[in-house]
């Protein structure tokens, strides 16, 4: 199977802690999770539909898979100069998005993998045996979101120890 590759536009939301709201009901702490899952699910469904149209899809994957996801975040305005330097990145601006507010790479992946399961990409996210989750800032003109690559482990070859 060819790798399933697609992009998602939106604000990545990390699936983290749950909050108890009474009567045994738990809800996500982050308000970003639900819209992010919806964005991922919609983009994944469109990618699967394109594979189906090209007769490249045999249904939800039920085998070991590798998932690579690169999350893109917009830089805060404080990373840039002011006035006529408003488009110039400050030398002190961090290269990587390490802010707790953006979420942990593993929790971002968790919310995204659940959405891929809901979209029917794979039967269950327990089939993901190789996961690479990267966070980076957007390049100029790029929108926040993520890029996904999903492929069968049979197509990957041996994994180094």
Burial class (CB in 10 A: 0-12, 13-18, 19+), 159: exposed
Instruction: State the pLDDT at residue 58.
Output: 87
**pTM for the predicted model, two decimal places:** 0.88
Instruction: State the pLDDT at residue 26.
Output: 57
pLDDT over threshold 60, residue 29 = no
Q: Dihedral through CA 75, CA 77, CA 78, CA 80, nearest 10?
A: 80
pLDDT digits (tens, 9 = 90+) for 48-92: 999 999 998 888 999 999 999 999 999 999 999 999 999 999 999
pLDDT digits (tens, 9 = 90+) for 30-50: 678 999 999 999 999 999 999
Tell me the average pLDDT of the chain.
90
The stretch 93-114 carries a mean pLDDT of 94
Domain boundaries along the sequence of the chain: 4-155
CATH code, residues 4-155: 3.30.1330.70
Instruction: State the pLDDT at residue 78.
Output: 95
Instruction: State the pLDDT at residue 19.
Output: 62
Selected residue with higher pLDDT from 73 and 100:
73
């Amino acid at each position: 199977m060819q790798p399933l590759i697609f992009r998602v536009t939106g604000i990545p939301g990390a699936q983290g802690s749950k909050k108890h709201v009474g009567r045994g009901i738990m809800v996500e702490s982050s308000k970003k999770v639900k819209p992010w899952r919806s964005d991922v699910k919609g983009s994944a469904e469109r990618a699967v539909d394109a594979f189906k149209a090209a007769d490249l899809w045999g249904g939800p994957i039920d085998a070991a898979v590798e998932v690579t996801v690169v999350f893109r975040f917009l830089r805060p305005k404080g990373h840039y100069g002011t006035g006529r330097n408003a488009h110039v990145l400050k030398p002190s601006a961090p290269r990587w998005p390490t802010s707790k507010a953006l979420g942990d790479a593993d929790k971002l992946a968790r919310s995204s993998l659940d959405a891929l399961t809901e979209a029917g990409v794979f039967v269950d996210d327990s089939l993901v045996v190789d996961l690479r989750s990267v966070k980076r800032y957007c390049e100029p003109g790029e929108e926040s979101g993520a890029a996904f690559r999903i492929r069968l482990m049979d197509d990957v070859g041996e994994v180094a120890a």
